[in-house]
């Protein structure tokens, strides 16, 4: 399927990159890729990200911490700068960054676990696969002549750039729960991957993935310091340093040795803006902000330089070349992410909250399933009724819960699941 006309494409991009699953005609000067960006920004799924967990839930009463929407904006800012430096289509990378978390359910990765367990016999759940589902099915914009939703009907290049894991659950690496599409979304996945090398991310998706890693590592570290989960004085004093590096190594899944991670920590701690203590003053706030800026610049510059050197003048667009991130930089990113995991996600003080969140979602899923289509929103109720089997009906329930914000999940649970006191 293809479009009958296209505005001028950026250098290195072909007409098929701007094709849409359902052909469209447009008036106006906006490019196809710019139009994609506008569709994501105007989507209801995008607005919901403002009330979804990044690391700390918006319901936790900490009003300055990142949510999924502010995180996505920061990822897009980094991605756009990478695109400029690497000669990639800025709107494609920008849109992929803006859209990359659209499939995340309430309570972030913790919510993913709950939905994946509940849907284990119906294809499981994965936030990135759900992102493709939102973009190509659940967020209504365009329909086939038969009345089937094709979602936002984004271009092939933009959809491919949004696909962090271009394989199915069955094709995932042993022990990995990461995959990019559900079984009933295979037709659109195969369309967007036409001509692409198997299991290989396009350069734009690699830029999005790197931008996400950079933003995740530095901004979540910043939020954890400001929220008093991380005490820089303890880090600087090296109290329990060896056990911290072991925890980071375990979190990184053995991708780096303890010596590599220890050396990466030392390099980060030598940064002039590294905090040795935190008291919340404006001076310390500025120093922490400058530290995050320094880290973003450091990681991005290293990747840009290594990528351009490896490409040796070859265009990167789509599958022209790989984005190269030096191993030392990957280790430094892993250290920052691992410190946040050790002090926040794996912290004993957070576990009761995480457990309650998973129980809330499991309870809500069970209640909605028992109610059939009666408590689902109209669009999801229609999907439930149209399902050809139990797995399809369960998927409609999962789609409904995944669409909820943290606060709306709590409100739905209170309305549907709370047993009144006798």
Q: Are 26 and 146 part of one and the same domain?
A: yes
CB atoms inside a 10 Å sphere around CB 190: 11
Q: What is the rounded distance in angstroms from the CA atom of residue 326 to the CA atom of residue 333? A: 11
Alpha helices in 8-100 (DSSP H): 32-41, 44-48, 68-86, 90-99
Res 252 pLDDT > 90: no
Q: Are 71 and 157 part of one and the same domain?
A: yes
Report the pLDDT value the prediction gives residue 65, as an integer from 0 to 100: 72
- Quick check: is 422 in a domain? no
Q: Are 173 and 218 part of one and the same domain?
A: no
Q: Are 247 and 288 part of one and the same domain?
A: yes
Q: Are 131 and 173 part of one and the same domain?
A: yes
Q: Are 256 and 137 part of one and the same domain?
A: no
Report the pLDDT value the prediction gives residue 298, as an integer from 0 to 100: 98
Q: Are 341 and 361 part of one and the same domain?
A: no
CB atoms inside a 10 Å sphere around CB 148: 10
Among 168, 192, 216, the domain-final residue is 192
- Quick check: is 305 in a domain? yes
Q: What is the rounded distance in angstroms from the CA atom of residue 403 to the CA atom of residue 125? A: 13
What contacts 357, CB < 8 A, 6 or more positions away? 57, 106, 107, 110, 111, 114
- Quick check: is 419 in a domain? no
Q: What is the rounded distance in angstroms from the CA atom of residue 188 to the CA atom of residue 194? A: 10
Q: What is the rounded distance in angstroms from the CA atom of residue 100 to the CA atom of residue 2? A: 24
Strand, helix or coil at 224? helix
Among 297, 331, 348, the domain-final residue is 348
Q: Are 152 and 46 part of one and the same domain?
A: yes
Report the pLDDT value the prediction gives residue 240, as an integer from 0 to 100: 75
- Quick check: is 278 in a domain? yes
Among 192, 218, 242, the domain-final residue is 192
Express each pLDDT in 298-332 by its tens digit: 999 999 999 999 999 999 999 999 999 999 999 99
Query: Which residue range forms the structural domain that includes residue 385?
Result: 352-414
- Quick check: is 58 in a domain? no
- Quick check: is 216 in a domain? yes
**CATH, residue 38:** 1.10.3210.10
Res 422 pLDDT > 50: no
Q: Are 210 and 290 part of one and the same domain?
A: yes
Query: What does pTM read for this prediction?
Result: 0.93
Count up the domains in the chain and report the number: 3
Res 62 pLDDT > 80: no
Token output for 41: 């920004």
Express each pLDDT in 290-302 by its tens digit: 999 999 999 999 9
Mean of pLDDT over the chain: 92
- Quick check: is 6 in a domain? no
Token output for 155: 């271009």
DSSP letters along 193-228, please? Answer: TTTPPTT---HHHHHHHHHHHHHHHHHHHHHHHHTT
Express each pLDDT in 373-420 by its tens digit: 999 999 999 999 999 999 999 999 999 999 999 999 999 999 999 755
Q: Are 71 and 187 part of one and the same domain?
A: yes
Report the pLDDT value the prediction gives residue 347, as an integer from 0 to 100: 60
Distances in Å between the Cα of 122 and the Cα atoms of 213, 355, 377, 379, 390 are 30, 23, 21, 20, 8
Res 335 pLDDT > 80: yes
- Quick check: is 183 in a domain? yes
Report the pLDDT value the prediction gives residue 57, as an integer from 0 to 100: 56
Model confidence band, residue 1 (pLDDT cutoffs 50, 70, 90): very low
Q: Are 291 and 327 part of one and the same domain?
A: yes
């Amino acid at each position: 399927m293809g479009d009958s006309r296209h505005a001028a494409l950026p250098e290195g991009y072909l007409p098929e990159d701007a094709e849409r699953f359902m052909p469209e005609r447009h008036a106006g000067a906006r490019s196809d890729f710019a139009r994609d960006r506008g569709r994501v920004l105007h989507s209801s799924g995008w607005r919901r990200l403002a009330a979804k967990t990044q690391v700390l839930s918006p319901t936790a009463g900490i009003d300055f911490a990142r949510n999924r929407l502010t995180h996505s904006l920061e990822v897009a800012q980094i991605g756009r700068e990478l695109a400029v430096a690497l000669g990639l289509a800025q709107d494609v990378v920008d849109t992929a960054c803006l859209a990359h978390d659209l499939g995340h359910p309430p309570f972030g990765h913790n919510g993913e676990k709950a939905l994946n367990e509940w849907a284990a016999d119906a294809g499981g759940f994965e936030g990135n696969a759900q992102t493709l589902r939102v973009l190509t099915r659940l967020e209504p914009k365009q329909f086939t002549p038969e009345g089937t939703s094709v979602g936002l009907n984004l271009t092939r290049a933009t959809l491919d750039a949004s696909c962090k894991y271009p394989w199915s659950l069955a094709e995932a690496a042993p022990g990995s729960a990461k995959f990019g599409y559900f079984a009933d979304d295979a037709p659109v996945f195969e369309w967007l991957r036409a001509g692409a090398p198997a299991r290989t991310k396009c350069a734009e998706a690699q830029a999005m993935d790197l931008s996400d890693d950079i933003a995740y590592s530095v901004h979540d570290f910043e939020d954890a310091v400001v929220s008093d989960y991380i005490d820089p004085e303890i880090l600087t004093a090296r109290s329990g340093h060896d056990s911290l590096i072991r925890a980071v190594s375990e979190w990184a899944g053995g991708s780096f040795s303890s010596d590599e991670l220890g050396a990466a920590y030392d390099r980060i701690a030598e940064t002039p803006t590294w905090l040795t203590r935190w008291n919340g003053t404006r001076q310390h706030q500025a120093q922490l902000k400058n530290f995050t800026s320094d880290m973003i610049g450091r990681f991005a510059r290293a990747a840009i330089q290594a990528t351009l050197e490896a490409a040796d003048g070859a265009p990167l667009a789509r599958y022209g070349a790989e984005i190269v991130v030096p191993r030392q930089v990957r280790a430094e990113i892993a250290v920052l992410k691992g410190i946040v995991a050790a002090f926040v996600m794996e912290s004993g003080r957070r576990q009761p909250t995480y457990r309650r969140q998973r129980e809330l979602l499991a309870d809500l899923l069970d209640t909605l399933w028992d109610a059939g289509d009666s408590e689902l929103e109209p669009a999801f109720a229609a999907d439930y009724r149209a399902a050809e089997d139990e797995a399809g009906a369960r998927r409609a329930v999962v789609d409904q819960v995944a669409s909820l914000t943290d606060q709306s999940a709590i409100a739905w649970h209170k309305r549907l699941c709370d047993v009144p006191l006798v």
